[in-house]
Structure 1
Amino acid sequence: MNVAEQFGVYWPNLIAQIILFFIVYWVLSKFAFKPIMAMLEERRRRIEEGQINAEKIKQQLAEAQTKYEETLARANAEAQRLIEEVKASGEKLADEKRQAALAEAQEIVRRTHESLSLERERTMAELKKEVGRLVAETTEKVTQKILTPQDHQKINEETARQIAA
């Protein structure tokens, strides 16, 4: 007796089972394993594409963030420059206004001095005339003599000279 018979192996059934196994294997590989493997390969490819797309999106996001930060920095620099310009312009305008006000004040002082000088001269002329008249009147009363126009002239000139000194 051989070992196969001892274990109860019946050769025609074993051969039929082996043939049947290969037929089932061939049918499953053709109609089940290939579509399943194709589906798994498609899923692997999609996952790989998704990872590549995720990397691209990360890179684009990093570039967008960099552009955003650059744009923000440029905007801040421009805003700072504009603030400095406005500040300088304001200071310049304030300085110009100060200079204009100072010039106007100096002009007012000059006109006031001129006006006061003219008023002083006019007042001095009136004073000389009035003092001359009063001196002439007083002289007439004191001397009890009527003064001639030459006497009046002489008294007025002498009085004006005395007042001016």
Structure 2
Amino acid sequence: MGLITPALGLFIWTLVAFLIVLFILKKFAWKPILKMLNERETGIANAISSAEKVKIEMAEMQADNQRLIQEAREERSIMLKEAKETKDKIISEAKEQAKAEANKIMEEARTQIELKKNAALTEVKNEIGTMAVAVAEKVLRKKLEAADAQADYIKMLSEEIKLN
């Protein structure tokens, strides 16, 4: 049984050694250990707080980025719409200008055709008149070769002129 139950003297000396070590630890080591644990706890709390702040700032920055992206998309959409409107306007103006130019060219062509037609008609009329005079002259010469026929014809013309 000697091994299982210690002697009273050994027990007292072990208790005294334990109390001395406990006193020394309490006097010199306990406060620095507690101080270091408190500092570590404060550091961890500060780090967690900083991480939360950074997380909040990141969320704000992400929201700002999303807002900027949305604004950029809206601006791009507006710019594309304006560019399309400008393109359509330019195309319609070009079509109108081309149509006006075509109408102008057509009108000039019609005018030229009308002028040439009138000139041709005038020339044909003059030619017909010249031919008619030439034919009439030949017919009258043939008919009025005799002096009696000439006198009768002059008399008839003078009477027609008086009537008109």
TM-score, shorter chain, exceeding 0.5: yes
Question: Do residues 102 (structure 1) and 106 (structure 2) align?
Answer: yes
Query: Which of 54, 63, 81 is equivalent to 2:85?
Result: 81
Q: 1:150, CA displacement in angstroms?
A: 9.2
Q: Could you list the per-position Cα deviations for residues 100-137 of structure 1 after superposition, in whole angstroms to 9, with x for gaps in the alignment?
A: 12221221122122212221222122222322333345
Partner of 2:31: 26
Q: 1:3, CA displacement in angstroms?
A: 9.1
Q: 1:26, CA displacement in angstroms?
A: 0.7
Task: Kindly tell me the number of residue pairs found equivalent between the two proteins.
Answer: 149
Partner of 1:61: 65
Cα distance between partner residues in 2 of 1:118 and 1:48: 103
Partner of 1:126: 130
The 3-state SS of whatever aligns with 1:8 is: helix
Partner of 2:40: 36
TM-score after normalising by structure 1: 0.70
Cα distance between partner residues in 2 of 1:4 and 1:79: 104
Q: Give the superposed CA RMSD.
A: 3.2
In structure 1, runs of 5+ residues without a counterpart are 155-165
Cα distance between partner residues in 2 of 1:129 and 1:6: 176
Cα distance between partner residues in 1 of 2:38 and 2:44: 10
Q: 1:86, CA displacement in angstroms?
A: 1.6
CA 1:104–1:5 in 2, change beyond 3 Å: closer, same or farther? farther
Question: Higher relative CO (CA 8 A, sep ≥ 6), structure 1 or 2?
Answer: 1
Q: 1:45, CA displacement in angstroms?
A: 2.5
Cα distance between partner residues in 2 of 1:20 and 1:100: 117
Cα distance between partner residues in 2 of 1:91 and 1:117: 38
